[in-house]
Structure formats: structure tokens, C-alpha cells
Chain A
Amino acid sequence: DAGITQSPRHKVTETGTPVTLRCHQTENHRYMYWYRQDPGHGLRLIHYSYGVKDTDKGEVSDGYSVSRSKTEDFLLTLESATSSQTSVYFCAISVGTSGTETQYFGPGTRLLVL
């Protein structure tokens, strides 16, 4: 257990509304990540953070923004949700030295955009 929680765990929203997902860690890890999981695509990186206020884009960042104002919290925001953003979202933290890190994942947030 890497001390990662995600909230909410489930959310239903309507197209065009903003949505914010929260990831919280208790162990002060520097790196945090947001992924989405979709059938046939595996896990795809949306954004990641390498410190407070330090973030970068992943491979599927369009339509998403992130913020990290505290080490323990990493927020993912869908500015205007679309049906294509219906997915399961996972947060992760990284443990270990560069080149041999292991990522540990939260329990996920299931998002349905109607």
C-alpha cells in the first residue's frame, strides 16, 4: 500500500461541465502521474508532476490540465468534459532511483460523461 487515495471514486457528469479529480499521497513522493485506462489502449499517461508547481504533459494531455500546489496533492481537471473522456483514471507515484523506478497506483476513479 503506497498510501494513495483518489476522490471521487465514481462520478457521472454531463458534457461541457468541468470536473476535478483528486489524488492524495501520504509519503512525500516527488513524482506523481495521471493515467487513463481504456479498452485496447492500456494505460496512457495524461500529465505528470516532478515537484510542487512542476508539471509536464503526457501522450494524451489534450483537454486536461493539472495542478500541484502541495507535495501530497495532484489534481486533474477536465475543463469541459466530453464523452471521449469517459474512462477510468488512475493516479500513481514513483519510488526508486532514476532508471529503476517502480510506480504504485491508486484505486482509480471511474468517470462517465453523458
Chain B
Amino acid sequence: DQQVKQNSPSLSVQEGRISILNCDYTNSMFDYFLWYKKYPAEGPTFLISISSIKDKNEDGRFTVFLNKSAKHLSLHIVPSQPGDSAVYFCAASFFGNEKLTFGTGTRLTIIP
């Protein structure tokens, strides 16, 4: 049972445009969400997070939106740059769990 789903395995976006990566979850206990970025031959790196008490969190070019009623979160990257080409994972957790549940990832390719 995949509790965190990233239904788009890949996404291509023109440089300078907005990239939108989506993530859905099924477990209503999840109340903390994270996005990770992964380059080939490297470990995942933390990008941005959001708590369920918020519906938006922004950090520079990266914004995460959370829609609790739809159990959906999205990561917006504006403007997209070639260095953003990577695999992006969303992850979810809840208080007392001490573990993260990851989605399967979306490969983002930025076209120059």
C-alpha cells in the first residue's frame, strides 16, 4: 500500500518557466511533509518542508503548497534552472513516528 504517491515519473520544463511537482498521500495521520532533491550518485538532500498547520511555505525559488482536504502537496520551482534537473522525492511523517514515508520520485529535466 503506497501511502505517498508521486504519479508523474518524469517532467520536462523549459528553463525560466515554472516547474510543478505533485504528491498525494492517503494516511490522514501525516502532518509533516518534506521534499528532497537527488542528483545521480549522491544522497538525497533536504529541500523544503511544511507542517500541516500551514498551507504554504516558501524558500527562495521553492514553494510548497499543502491541501489537507485533498491530501495533496505540490512543489513549485520558479524560475526553473538547469541545476534543478534531478529526481525529487516527497516524504511524510507524523508526530511520534520518527520515520519518513517516501514517494517513488519524479525526475525533473530542465530544458535550456
- Which residues of A are in contact with B by a Cβ distance under 8 Å? 4, 31, 33, 40-45, 48, 50, 58, 90, 92, 94, 98-108
Cβ contacts B29-48/A at 8 Å (1 or 0 each):
00110101000011111100
A-B contact count, CB below 8 Å? 62
A48, B99: Cβ atoms closer than 8 Å:
yes
- Which residues of B are in contact with A by a Cβ distance under 8 Å? 6, 9, 31-32, 34, 36, 41-46, 49, 51, 89, 91, 93-100, 102-105
Of B6, B31, B93, which is in contact with the most chain A CB atoms at under 10 Å from its CB? B93
Of A44, A58, A102, which is in contact with the most chain B CB atoms at under 10 Å from its CB? A102
Contact (A42, B103) CB under 8 Å given A99-B94, A100-B51, A108-B41? yes
Residues of A within 8 A of B94 (CB): 99
A-B contact pairs, 16 of them (CB 8 A): A4-B43, A40-B9, A41-B104, A42-B6, A94-B98, A98-B95, A99-B94, A100-B49, A101-B32, A101-B93, A101-B100, A102-B34, A102-B46, A105-B36, A105-B44, A105-B45
A99, B95: Cβ atoms closer than 8 Å:
yes
Closest to A38 in B: B104
Residues of A within 8 A of B44 (CB): 43, 90, 105
